[in-house]
């Protein structure tokens, strides 16, 4: 290995006691390959087996904590004890290759495709549709449903523990339900779950509490809890960076293992103010990095780009699309073979890359998302 990359391969120990062998993790990526009943498919297991081993940890694709939160076709579930064997298959596939396994838990809220829901009706903090063409107006959740949803995140965590995972990542990003409660666009409530900034934080913080309680009640060995967030929203009203900095201040006091900052590119500035070029990942790290480690992500394709990001002080980097195209990205850097890292996706490589037809269709349906040749 080139000595200039050695810093990326130092072990890292989280607050919970979980240690990963290096500072690179696999980002959570939807792969649309599970069965309709929420069970993981053989194709999905093969996909994870191909991409684990090199990275210190794998953060899985999101799993719904309630069936009415299914956000994608072919998403696997964590909403029932009947799915624990399915969840266990994924954890085992990751562990067998030598990486830690982190289950991402999620509810899509108003962003769920209605056709994926049993009753075809989305739910959200308030009856406000997202700003996109032909979006459904969601049904406003009742106070009882909100309390039940908080409990559901705790129950999904219990299932992750029973299935053998090393931790969970709470998906509070990308405009899904947890972010919808924090957003002044999607949350227009006037009860204890909405209104002021403090009340808009109530649901995310309650979810963290429920998850941490499940860990305290059920985990018999170290088990980590991470939280993923998106720093800003384009909508008006929408989440501002000032809102987010106040949220991360609160999250930093909850003894989480990490904050994972979901942005299009690691060095991106504000999506609300084109004149503000400061990296949102770096800004959050500088705000709370002394209390909780930050995972940075986004358009870090080469080892040199990853090392430049580490130079900001951010201690952990997630790779997503890079591992779709090059499952052995980490191993090739370790072996001094970085010149052989794939940087494009080719149909002729689909089988070798363990990409199912469903995944291929999904990955190639997003214009410009991957460089396809």
Helix (H) or strand (E) segment spanning residue 278: none
What gap in Å lies between CA 351 and CA 70, rounded to an integer? 28
Position 29 in a domain: yes
Kindly give, in sequence order, each residue whose CB lies less than 8 Å from that of residue 141, ignoring residues fewer than 6 positions away.
123, 124, 125, 149
pLDDT in tens, 30-42: 989 999 999 999 9
Q: Which residues are catalytic?
A: 176
Position 370 in a domain: no
Kindly give, in sequence order, each residue whose CB lies less than 8 Å from that of residue 15, ignoring residues fewer than 6 positions away.
224, 255, 256, 257, 292
Given a contact cutoff of 8 angstroms between Cβ atoms, the answer to whether 145 and 198 are in contact is no
Position 240 in a domain: yes
**pLDDT digit of tens for each residue in the chain (373 aa)?**
999 999 999 999 999 999 999 999 999 999 899 999 999 999 999 999 999 999 999 999 999 999 999 999 999 999 999 999 999 999 999 999 999 999 999 999 999 999 999 999 999 999 999 999 889 999 999 999 999 999 999 999 999 999 999 999 999 999 999 999 999 999 999 999 999 999 999 999 999 999 999 999 999 999 999 999 999 999 999 999 999 999 999 999 999 999 999 999 999 999 999 999 999 999 999 999 999 999 999 999 999 999 999 999 999 999 999 999 999 999 999 999 999 999 999 999 999 999 999 999 998 888 888 999 8
Rounded to two decimals, the pTM is: 0.98
DSSP string, 299-311: S--SHHHHHHHHT
Calculate what percentage of the chain has a pLDDT beyond 90: 97
What gap in Å lies between CA 349 and CA 312, rounded to an integer? 35
Given a contact cutoff of 8 angstroms between Cβ atoms, the answer to whether 25 and 317 are in contact is yes
CA distances from 296 to 142, 182, 189, 258, 354 (A): 35, 21, 32, 11, 26
pLDDT in tens, 145-170: 999 999 999 999 999 999 999 999 99
Position 369 in a domain: no
Closest CA to 193 of 181, 183, 184, 185: 181
Sign of the torsion formed by the C-alpha atoms of 85, 90, 94 and 99: negative
Domain that holds residue 183: 3-364
| CATH value at residue 15 | 3.20.20.70
What gap in Å lies between CA 289 and CA 362, rounded to an integer? 35
HEC profile of 162-193: HCCCCEEEEEECCCCHHHHHHCCCCCCCCCCC
Q: What token pair was written down for 315? A: 């201690």
Hey, how many other C-beta atoms are within 10 angstroms of the C-beta on 240? 18
State the total domains in the chain. Answer: 1
């Amino acid at each position: 290995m080139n000595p200039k990359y050695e810093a990326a391969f130092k072990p890292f120990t989280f607050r919970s006691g979980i240690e990963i062998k290096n500072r690179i993790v696999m980002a959570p990526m939807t792969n649309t390959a599970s069965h309709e009943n929420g069970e993981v498919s053989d194709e999905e297991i093969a996909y994870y087996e191909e991409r684990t081993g090199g990275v210190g940890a794998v953060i899985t694709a999101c799993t719904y904590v309630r069936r009415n939160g299914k956000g994608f076709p072919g998403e696997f579930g964590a909403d029932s004890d009947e799915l624990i064997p399915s969840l266990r298959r994924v954890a085992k596939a990751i562990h067998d290759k030598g990486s830690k396994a982190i289950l991402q838990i999620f509810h899509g809220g108003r962003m769920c495709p209605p056709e994926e829901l049993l009753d075809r009706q989305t739910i959200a903090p308030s009856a406000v549709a997202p700003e996109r063409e032909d979006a459904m107006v969601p049904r406003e959740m009742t106070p009882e449903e909100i309390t039940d949803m908080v409990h559901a995140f705790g129950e999904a965590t219990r299932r992750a523990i029973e299935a053998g995972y090393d931790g969970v990542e709470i998906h509070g990003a990308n405009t899904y339900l947890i972010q919808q409660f924090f957003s002044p666009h999607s949350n227009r409530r006037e009860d204890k779950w909405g209104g002021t900034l403090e009340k808009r934080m109530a649901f995310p913080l309650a979810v963290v509490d429920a998850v941490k309680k499940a860990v305290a009640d059920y985990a018999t060995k170290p088990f980590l809890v991470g939280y993923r967030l998106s720093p800003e929203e384009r909508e008006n009203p929408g989440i501002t960076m000032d809102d987010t900095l106040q949220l991360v201040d609160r999250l930093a006091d909850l003894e989480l293992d990490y904050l994972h900052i979901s942005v299009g590119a690691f060095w991106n500035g504000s999506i609300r103010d084109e004149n503000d070029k400061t990296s949102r990942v770096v800004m959050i790290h500088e705000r709370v990095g002394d209390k909780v480690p930050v995972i940075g992500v986004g358009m870090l394709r080469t080892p040199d780009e990853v090392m430049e990001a580490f130079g900001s002080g951010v201690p952990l980097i997630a790779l997503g699309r890079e591992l779709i195209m090059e499952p052995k990205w980490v191993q090739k850097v370790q072996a001094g073979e970085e010149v052989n890292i794939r940087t494009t996706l080719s149909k002729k490589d689909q089988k070798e890359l363990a990409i199912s037809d469903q995944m291929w269709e999904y990955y190639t349906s997003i214009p410009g998302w991957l460089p396809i040749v």
